[in-house]
C-alpha cells in the first residue's frame, strides 16, 4: 500500500467476504470508494458442495463428527479463510489490480451462534448476550500484508444491541433514490429489510430489521425431498408447481417474534432444521413435494409482507438481493403478497449476490476510518459504534495507516458517513 497521501486523491479499494446463514457458499467483492461514491470492481462466488454444507450445519448444531465443539470451530475458521484466500486472488485477477492496491479486507465469517439477548449462565449467573462469527483474519493478513477487519457484530451486542442488521448503512450509501421511497430486501437464509426513504423525504428515519426466514426453510425442504442431493429449489420450480397449505402458512406466521416491533434479529436457532421438522409434521397426511415447497416459500413471502407494517413511509418499490433473488417463484409471490414492484438489484447494476459482501467491505472501511458502523435506532445499541477487530500485518503499524485513512474518509466517504465517531478524537 502506498503512503497516506494516496488516500486523498485515489480513495480506497476494499475487499469484503460474506458467508450467509444459507451456508451455500462464500461471496467476495472488491469495491472502490472515491469521491463520495461506491463502485463494484469485481465479484466472485465460491459454492459449497452439499456434503461440506451439511458438515458445517451439523457442527453448528453441536454434532461435529469426531471433534469437540472448539476443535470444530477452529477447523471451520481456517476453512473459511482458505476459501477467502482463493477468492481474493480471483478478485484481483478479475479487476486487473495487484494486492498492493488494496487498502483493507472485511471478513464476516460464518455465524456459529447468535444470542444477543441477555440471559443466565448454566450456574444461573446473569450474563450479557453474545454472537460468534468464525473466520481467521490472521491467515489473510499473513498472506497479503493487508489489514483485516473481522468480528463485526460483538461491539454492538456488548452495547445492548442485536448485532444486526449491519448492512443498512451500506444500503443507504448506494441505494437511496432522490425521489422514490425504496426498501432493500436481502433474501439470505434469514431475510432482512431496510427502508430507504427518498432524499427528498430525508426527514424520515431508516428502519431495518430481520423479517424472519428467507431461504432457510426452503433449502431445508429441498434437502429433505432430495435426501441431501439438492440444497435449494432452482428458480423455485418445485414451489411453482405446488399449492401452499394456507392454513399452515397463516399458523406459522402467527409466531410472536414475527409480530414483535423492531429492532429485532433472528437466526438458525429459530428458523433452522427444528422449525422445518415442526412444519413438516403439520403438513396434511397426503402432500406432494411441490406442495411442501410452495408452503415453505409462502411462509417467507407472507412474513416479508407483514414486515411492511413497521415501515413508514411505505416503500414504492422493493429491491432484492441475496440468493433468494434467483428464486422466480418467491419473487412472484413477494410481488403478490406485498403488492409492490419487486426487482432484483441487477436492475441497479449490482449483482444480487454481491450486495452483502460489498457491505462488509464498506463496513471495514468505516471501521478503519473511525466511523460508526451501526445505526443504534436499528440495532437497539446504546449509540453508534466503530465495529470490529482489526488484524494488522507485522510489516505495518497502526500509526502508519490510520491517520491517512481517517483523513481520506473525510474526502471520499458518501454523506452522511463522512462524519467521524464522536467518542473518538480525530488524528493529530
- The predicted-structure confidence for 154-166, as pLDDT tens digits, reads as follows 999 999 999 988 9
Homologous superfamily in CATH for domain 168-353: ATPase, nucleotide binding domain (3.30.420.40)
C-alpha cell at 67: 471433534
CATH number of 5-163+354-412: 3.30.420.40
pLDDT digits (tens, 9 = 90+) for 1-58: 444 467 888 899 999 999 988 888 999 999 999 999 999 999 999 999 888 888 888 8
Given this chain, do its domains 5-163+354-412 and 168-353 carry the same CATH topology?
A: yes
Instruction: For residue 241, give every residue at least 6 positions away whose Cβ sits within 8 Å of its Cβ, in sequence order, or none.
Output: 290, 294
Give the residue ranges of the annotated binding site for ATP: 20-27
User: Which sequence spans correspond to the domains of the chain?
Assistant: 5-163+354-412, 168-353
Choose between 395 and 307: higher pLDDT: 307
The reply to whether the predicted model has a pTM over 0.85 is: yes
Q: How far apart are CA 147 and CA 365, in angstroms?
A: 11
**Cβ proximity of 344 and 336 under 8 Å:** no
Res. 59 pLDDT band, cuts 50 70 90: confident
Question: DSSP letters along 222-255, please?
Answer: HHHHTTTS-SS-GGGHHHHTS---HHHHHHHTT-
Give the residue ranges of the annotated binding site: 20-27
Q: Order of strands, edge to edge, in the sheet holding 317-321?
A: 208-213, 190-196, 182-187, 317-321, 341-344
Amino acid at each position: 500500500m502506498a503512503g497516506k497521501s494516496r488516500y486523498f486523491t485515489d480513495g480506497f479499494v476494499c475487499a469484503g467476504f460474506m458467508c450467509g446463514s444459507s451456508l451455500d457458499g462464500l461471496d467476495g467483492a472488491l469495491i472502490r470508494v472515491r469521491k463520495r461514491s461506491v463502485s463494484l470492481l469485481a465479484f466472485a462466488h465460491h459454492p459449497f458442495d452439499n456434503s461440506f454444507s451439511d458438515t458445517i450445519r451439523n457442527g453448528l448444531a453441536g454434532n461435529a463428527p469426531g471433534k469437540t465443539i472448539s476443535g470444530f470451530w477452529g477447523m471451520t475458521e481456517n476453512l473459511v479463510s482458505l476459501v477467502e484466500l482463493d477468492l481474493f486472488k480471483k478478485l484481483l485477477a478479475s479487476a486487473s489490480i495487484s494486492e498492493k492496491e488494496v487498502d483493507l479486507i472485511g471478513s464476516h465469517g460464518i455465524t456459529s451462534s447468535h444470542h444477543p439477548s441477555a440471559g443466565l449462565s448454566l450456574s444461573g449467573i446473569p450474563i450479557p448476550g453474545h454472537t460468534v462469527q468464525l473466520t481467521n483474519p490472521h491467515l489473510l493478513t499473513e498472506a497479503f500484508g493487508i489489514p483485516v477487519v473481522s468480528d463485526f457484530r460483538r461491539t454492538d451486542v456488548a452495547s445492548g444491541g442485536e448485532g444486526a442488521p449491519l448492512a443498512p448503512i451500506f444500503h443507504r450509501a448506494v441505494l437511496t433514490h432522490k425521489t422514490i421511497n425504496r426498501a432493500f430486501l436481502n433474501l439470505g437464509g434469514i431475510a432482512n429489510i431496510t427502508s430507504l426513504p427518498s432524499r427528498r423525504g430525508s426527514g424520515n428515519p431508516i428502519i431495518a430489521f430481520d423479517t424472519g426466514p428467507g431461504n432457510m426453510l426452503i433449502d431445508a425442504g429441498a434437502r429433505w425431498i432430495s435426501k441431501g442431493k439438492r440444497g435449494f429449489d432452482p428458480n423455485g420450480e418445485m414451489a411453482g408447481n405446488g399449492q401452499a397449505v394456507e392454513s399452515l402458512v397463516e399458523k406459522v406466521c402467527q409466531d410472536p417474534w414475527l409480530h414483535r416491533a423492531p429492532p429485532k434479529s433472528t437466526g438458525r436457532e429459530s428458523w433452522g432444521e427444528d422449525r422445518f421438522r415442526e412444519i413438516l409434521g403439520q403438513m396434511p397426511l397426503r402432500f406432494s413435494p411441490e406442495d411442501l415447497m410452495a408452503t415453505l416459500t409462502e411462509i417467507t413471502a407472507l412474513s416479508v409482507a407483514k414486515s411492511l407494517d413497521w415501515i413508514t413511509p411505505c416503500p414504492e418499490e422493493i429491491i432484492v438481493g441475496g440468493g433468494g433473488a434467483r428464486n422466480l417463484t418467491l419473487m412472484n409471490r413477494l410481488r403478490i403478497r406485498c403488492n409492490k414492484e419487486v426487482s432484483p438489484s441487477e436492475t441497479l447494476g449490482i449483482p444480487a449476490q454481491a450486495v452483502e459482501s460489498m457491505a462488509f467491505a464498506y463496513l471495514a472501511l468505516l471501521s478503519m476510518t473511525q466511523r460508526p458502523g451501526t445505526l443504534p435506532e436499528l440495532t437497539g445499541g446504546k449509540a453508534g459504534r466503530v465495529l470490529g477487530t482489526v488484524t494488522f500485518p507485522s510489516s505495518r503499524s497502526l500509526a502508519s495507516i490510520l491517520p491517512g485513512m481517517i483523513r481520506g474518509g473525510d474526502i471520499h466517504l458518501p454523506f452522511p458517513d463522512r462524519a467521524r465517531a464522536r467518542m473518538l478524537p480525530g488524528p493529530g
